[in-house]
Amino acid sequence: LGEYHVPVHADVPHMDIILLENFDEYASPIGAKGAGEIGIVGVAAAIANAVYHATGVRVRELPITPDKLMGKGALA
């Protein structure tokens, strides 16, 4: 895990942002709509599974910290 490449802002390709002037009174009180919330739902579970596969320790609460892993014997 020490040499794992963590993606950073520079790894994201250029995107053109287009603002749409389309007010929807039924979306929310201010007319805002969601765009990418559903994509983040499985992230914590995926990270927890990766930690489990790397260490053999199942972590079921966030944040996942080294002291929690050491307490369960993974990093001892």
- Are the C-beta atoms of residues 69 and 55 closer than 8 Å to each other? yes
Q: What does the alpha-carbon distance between residue 74 and residue 59 come to, in Å, rounded to a whole number?
A: 11
Active-site entry in 3, 21, 25, 37? 37
List strand residue ranges (DSSP E) for the chain, in order.
none
Amino acid letter, residue 13 = P
Is 37 labeled as catalytic in the residue annotation?
yes
Residues recognised as catalytic? 37
